[in-house]
A and B are shown apart, each in its own frame.
Chain A
Amino acid sequence: MSTERRKSRRGRRGGGPAGADLERARGLHVLVVDDFDDNREMYAEYLAHVGMRVSQARDGHDAVRKAIDLSPDLIVMDLSLPDLDGWDATRLLRADPRTARTPIVAVTGHAIGTHAATARAVGCDEVLTKPLLPEDLLDHIVSIVARRR
């Protein structure tokens, strides 16, 4: 993220995107996947607060199952997950025609090495690094949805 963008966020009261983009994002169904409960619940609570419908999963298998069963508009995917990790879950989702085009935003604590490049290679649309405030996550979701329309 650029320094300018960070500065603009610090200066904003309440955070989060404003206007038409946010209005369009309200009502989206987002699947939040993270095995770290405090972070998953924090994101889920915030996205629900701004008007999105939110489902949650805490491992890769649960994420794939829910993505196929619930057809969310977008998936927020942690990469380090028990059993089936976020990279493999994304591969499976991209290989399934029902979820092949669903936007996937990876949110990860992995900031070193090739983790982000691998996440993009397997099909994640964006890779964001923790710690990530919920309103910053919302910014990215709104921006991805706006680009897709």
Chain B
Amino acid sequence: MAAGELRHEIVSLLVHELRNPLGAVLGSVRSLRGAGVRRSARQRHLDVVETNALRIEELLDSLSLVSSADRAEALSLTAAPTPVDVVLRDAAERARKLMGGLLRVSLEVRCDSATIVNVDLRRMVRALAGLAVASMTFASKGGVVAWTSRDAPGRIELDLPDPGIDLHDDHAPRVHDEGFWASRPRAVGLRLTTRAAVLVVRAHGGAVVRTMDPEPVLRVHLPRVP
């Protein structure tokens, strides 16, 4: 595909990805302005506004990160030693907000709070939440997804169980495979989010791999603070 055509296609798909959350925001604001909105409905509309504003922010952040990487610009990080449970719990909280009413599974965090990682907390939280949302968007309803961490030589491993972006196991490896995503243009938002998350993890000296253990897992490796 010619570069101009590809750019047109990407812009078209991004516009589509932005219109859905924008529609939800505008609709909820319109409802909130109406007379006689019940307290429960008011809270629900506010939640819809927050969730969808975060989705728009996520998409724009990811676009900005990926665009910078494509121009070979280094990602600037403000890293500090941080307990891994803080990273995971903050990421889980953001993932819950991003999923909003779409959260079809219960999200739990199981980790050793004594383990310390050197991370840019804001960027890492967004990266992990983005990975989680990408993997859970089309997950079946019900059940519990538990995020866990474990020590490994020189690093820690964070396991984000991957209920699947509506995929068959044979599609692995997935998150790094450009060809796979190219065949699924409607998932461009998820693709951007996932690619941005992988960039952030790599900038921390880590990696994201997909493995079976025995179910599909996105395993994030991060250097451990000795």
Contact = CB atoms under 8 A, between A and B. Distances in A.
A2 to B, nearest CB: 20
B27 A134 contact: yes
B102 interface: yes
B101 A39 contact: no
Interface of A is mostly: loop
Given A111-B15, A112-B15, A113-B8, A39 B30 contact: no
Given A82-B166, A130-B20, A112 B11 contact: yes
A38 B52 contact: yes
Contacts of A130: 19-20, 22-23
Interface of A: 14-15, 36-39, 41-42, 80, 82-83, 85, 108-113, 115, 129-135
Interface residues of B, number: 30
Nearest to B165: A82
B101 A111 contact: no
Contact of A37 (B9, B31, B102): B102
Contacts of B48: 38, 42
A115 B15 CA distance: 13
Nearest to B16: A109
B144 interface: no
Given A85-B186, A110-B15, A113-B12, 15 more contacts: A15-B30, A37-B101, A38-B24, A38-B48, A38-B51, A39-B23, A42-B24, A42-B27, A82-B166, A83-B166, A109-B17, A109-B19, A112-B12, A113-B8, A131-B25
24 contacts: A36-B20, A37-B102, A38-B21, A38-B51, A39-B24, A39-B27, A41-B101, A42-B23, A42-B28, A42-B48, A80-B16, A82-B166, A109-B20, A109-B23, A110-B15, A111-B15, A112-B8, A112-B11, A112-B12, A113-B8, A113-B9, A113-B12, A130-B20, A130-B22
Contacts of B147: none
Contacts of B30: 15, 133-135
Interface string B92-116: 0000000011100000000000000
B26 interface: yes
Given A109-B15, A131-B19, A82 B138 contact: yes
A38 B101 contact: yes
